[in-house]
Amino acid sequence: METTKTRASQIRATLPGLSLAIIVAIAAKGLGLLLPQLGGATLAILIGIVLGNTWCKQAGLNVGTKFAESRLLEYSVVLLGLTVTFQTIGQMGWRGVLYVWLMMTIVICGAYYIGRKLGFGEKMSLMFAGGNAVCGSSAIGAIAPAIDADDEEKGQIITLVNLLGTVMMLTLPFLATAVFGDDLIAKSAMLGGTLQSVGQVVAGASLLSPETVRYAMLFKITRIIMLVVVVSVFERKVSHGRPRASQAAKRRLPIPWYVLGFLGLCLLNSSFALPALLGSGAHAVSGWFETTALAAIGLRLNFAKFMQQGTKFLSYGVLVGGLQTVAALGLLTLLRL
């Protein structure tokens, strides 16, 4: 009985913010038909940002928008598995995998070095390095307990990573188009290999095309799969060979469940001739989940909170963002993806 009451309470807390995100998504989809040069995904983010920083700042919306931002986006990623096959993934080639590994190495080493030079502690520098190299807040959430990071420092780094990711999400798609033109793989590699969170990869790629979203997610998922390696290396560095992670941290699934779900459906789609209706239906539902999640991302973007971070934090973000962008352009040119 108590469980039923708890679930009902959770649903009531979730409904206001989730409903608002859905309404924004519907409005964005409708406006996207009138403004195809922007598209529903872009408009969902923009409308969400405006509303979230003006009329829709109520704390009661937070639970629902958080659910839409995280869970719906995860479901969207899983459903993408029914729209691609391992043959599609193979189009990344060995150059694509090498590109991801080199990018992660450069970002981790560069972000750690810059952080230490700016006066940040070892753990803050490692969290920022891992967050930018792998998958934003999710990576920081996995790294923090493994290196016994302070909760306040963890919150500051998550804020900085989200700020940097938001700026890059709104600028890199246009830079990629200006540099690589119609080269789908190169543009997808730049976004999927650079942007911090899954949401930012989806949002940034959505500014270009649905095909860019699919291919960018392949590069992104390759990065996420490496999370378990990054956490292990960081833990050993901080403890100097003496494991210090809590038992709770050790029990955590090292690879996010939605990556495993994506790979599972991709394997199914690669092994069997599934009905075309299943693939088109998954694509449509994934698209709606994605647009609703992007609306929630916009609604949750708090500019005032970002501006409270100070010049040292902002300098850290600018320098690492510049490093990521230059490294991506250089590697993509060198490897000829």
Query: What is the pLDDT, as a whole number, of residue 72?
Result: 84
> How do residues 218-276 score in pLDDT, each as one tens digit?
898 888 878 778 888 888 888 765 554 444 444 455 566 777 888 888 888 888 877 87
Q: Give the separation between CA 140 and CA 144, rounded to whole angstroms.
A: 6
Check residue 21 and give its pLDDT: 92
Q: What is the pLDDT of residue 6?
A: 77
Total number of domains constituting the chain: 1
pLDDT at 309: 60
Q: State residue 37's pLDDT score.
A: 60
Q: Reduced to 3 states, what is the DSSP secondary structure of residue 9? A: helix
pLDDT given at position 2: 56
Q: Give the per-residue pLDDT at 260.
A: 81
Q: Is the pTM of this model over 0.75?
A: no
| Continuous H helices in the chain | 2-34, 39-52, 62-67, 73-80, 86-89, 93-117, 122-133, 136-146, 151-180, 184-192, 198-206, 210-225, 227-239, 247-251, 257-271, 276-300, 303-307, 311-335
For residues 24 and 48, the answer to whether their CB atoms sit within 8 Å is yes
Q: What is the chain's alpha carbon radius of gyration, rounded to the nearest angstrom?
A: 20
Residue 253: predicted pLDDT: 53
Structure confidence at residue 246 (pLDDT): 45
Range of the domain at 301: 2-335
Low-confidence ranges of the chain (pLDDT < 70): 1-3, 36-39, 89, 155, 240-256, 303, 305-310
